[in-house]
Amino acid sequence: MLALLLRLGGIAGIATMAALIKLASDRGVHIAEIIFWRQGIAIPILLAYALTRGGPGILRTARPRAHLVRSLYGFFGMVLNFGAVILLPLAEATTFSFTAPLWAVILSTLILHERVGVWRWSSVIVGFVGVLVIAQPGGHAIPLGGAAAALGGAFMVALISLHIRDLGRTEQAVTIVFWFAAFSTLLVLPALPFSMRAHAPGDYLLLVGIGVAGTLGQLLITAALRFGEVSSVIVMDYSSLVWATLYGWLFFAVLPPAATWIGAPLIIVAGTIIAWRERVLRKQVVVGTAPPTGT
């Protein structure tokens, strides 16, 4: 129950960050500046968090190159995901982000050479049917550029998850998050002279809110994994659609069209089946039984 509550709180934080990003963009703040504030504010928060967990020494790493690679992936993924939030209504951007488990199945076969059977391949197909229902190619229901950015962002999330799985063998979660914030802040610095400008006080409050909400959400999501398995708590991620719909209505007077309400359940069901199937397979590995045909 604690893991589920932490995950719910973390997802609420990330959803709030997305709404603030869209508000800031509507007020003329450039995406490069948004990324700088999102990651720059995370650094002192994470340093303070490290002090409560034993001191800054826990941030030391013997794998700076691996952290740099993770940060390059993460930076590109952040550009795509933030761009999707800016270009699409919040509910649609959030729904497309649910395709990350579908991409993870595809990547696990290509990179990890895992055996994927009928259950998970069928879920991938169902999930992408949901994407087609929402995007309606040729129907111009939503900007296809925004849909491409959202799907690309979800792909990067899946790719980053594989990389973090490797980093997690030797690094603590706060260490991974800290070095991502540090490296990505440096990566965005060259763009700031061309994008940063003076803002109204309300704009700076939005930027601070983006950094605080995003960092706290990330920490809560990470903390949830200390008390529960990924396959058990990941279903809470779908609560972000509730937040996205609520924020879209409150801040932008936009509600999802019928196509989203039809397509979103297909994507959510596909992701849930993949999480359930992976949990079953992990249990079989633990007890030493071979996976059945059609995993």
The span from the CA of 267 to the CA of 250, in Å, is 25
Q: Per-residue pLDDT averaged across 90-104, rounded?
A: 91
What pLDDT, on a 0 to 100 scale, did the predictor assign at position 2? 83
Return the structure tokens found at 49. 């968090």
Query: Of 230, 79, 216, which Cα lies nearest the Cα of 149?
Result: 79
Res 289 pLDDT > 80: no
Q: What pLDDT is stored for residue 167 in this prediction?
A: 83
Poorest-pLDDT segment among 36-40, 115-119, 178-182: 115-119
Rounded Cα–Cα distance for residues 241 and 44 (Å): 30
Percent of the chain scoring above 90 in pLDDT: 48
How far apart are the C-alpha atoms of 288 and 23, rounded to whole Å? 51
Residues 216-235: what's their mean pLDDT? 74
Q: What is the mean pLDDT of the chain?
A: 87
CB 4 within 8 A of CB 233: yes
In the predicted structure, residue 121 carries a pLDDT above the cut 80: yes
- At residue 53, the pLDDT reads 81
Mean pLDDT of 39-63: 89
Q: Which of 3-7, 37-41, 177-181, 264-268 has the lowest mean pLDDT?
A: 3-7
- Band the pLDDT of 161: cuts 50, 70, 90: confident
Q: Report the percentage of the chain scoring pLDDT > 70.
A: 92
pLDDT (0 to 100) of residue 1? 76
Give the residue, 259 or 165, on which the prediction is more confident. Answer: 259
Instruction: Report the C-alpha gap between 29 and 23 in whole angstroms.
Output: 9
pLDDT tens digits, one per residue of 123-138: 889 999 999 898 876 6
pLDDT at 294 over 60: no
The yes-or-no verdict on residue 242 having pLDDT over 60 is: yes
Q: What is the pLDDT of residue 245?
A: 94
The span from the CA of 165 to the CA of 4, in Å, is 21
Residues 6+ apart with CB under 8 A from 238: 98, 268, 271, 272
pLDDT band with cut points at 50, 70 and 90 for residue 185: very high
pLDDT beyond 70 at 37: yes
Q: Report pTM.
A: 0.87
pLDDT at 125: 92
Position 293 pLDDT exceeds 50: no
